[in-house]
Amino acid sequence: MKNCMEGTIDRTEGDHAVIIMKNHQLIYWPKENLPKKCIEGITVIVSIEIEETNTKDKENLAKEFLNKIIDN
């Protein structure tokens, strides 16, 4: 999958886990959003998905706002 990347949980800092990605970038991920079995040294897959409903709602709101500006 192109929208996924592999990384390793390196350590925790406060309420976050620090994930080192294969490209050496760091991601600070809330520990409460990790699966229960995640510990330091474990390999994880991080993925990104588009939330279509929210995106469409924001587009519609922006269009409504611009139309109000244009009409006045």
43-47 β-sheet, strand order: 26-30, 16-21, 4-13, 43-47
Question: Using one digit for the tens of pLDDT, what is the confidence trace for 5-20?
Answer: 999 999 999 999 999 9
pLDDT in tens, 27-61: 999 999 999 989 999 999 999 887 777 777 778 88
Q: Is 21 in contact with 6 (CB distance < 8 Å)?
A: yes
Domain count, the chain: 1
Which ranges constitute the DSSP H helices of the chain?
52-71
Residue range(s) defining the domain that contains residue 45: 4-71
Identity of residue 7: G
What's the CATH number where 13 sits?
A: 2.40.50
Residues in the chain: 72
CA 26, CA 7: separation in Å to the nearest integer? 9
